[in-house]
Amino acid sequence: MATLLVKDIPYDLYLAFSKLAAQKGLTLEEAVIELLTESANKDKELEKIKRSLLPKIKAETIVSAIKAGRVSD
């Protein structure tokens, strides 16, 4: 595992993380890792949703468009 050192965290934020960790029965480190993981997973899900909204283009369509452009030049 990698080590991450975060400096200059506002004290209020530190207290909020500490409180959250205590409520969940986790260490501060475990709580922060859990929140970072959740955040990263949300970004992955958002990317999946964005990709699913893109039009579906078949490879043959792309190849045909490229060939058509070469012919007209």
Q: Provide the pLDDT confidence category of residue 1 given band limits of 50, 70 and 90.
A: confident
The pLDDT assigned to 43 comes to 80
Domain ranges within the chain, ordered by starting residue: 11-72
Encode pLDDT of 6-24 as tens digits.
Answer: 999 999 999 999 999 999 9
Overall average pLDDT of the 45-51 stretch: 82
Q: Which residues contact 18 (CB under 8 A, 6 or more apart)?
A: 28
Whole-angstrom Cα distance, residue 49 to residue 4?
A: 30
Element (H, E) at 49: helix 28-53
The pLDDT assigned to 71 comes to 64
Cα dist from 73 to 42, 53, 59, 66, 67, whole Å: 45, 33, 22, 11, 10
The pLDDT assigned to 42 comes to 86
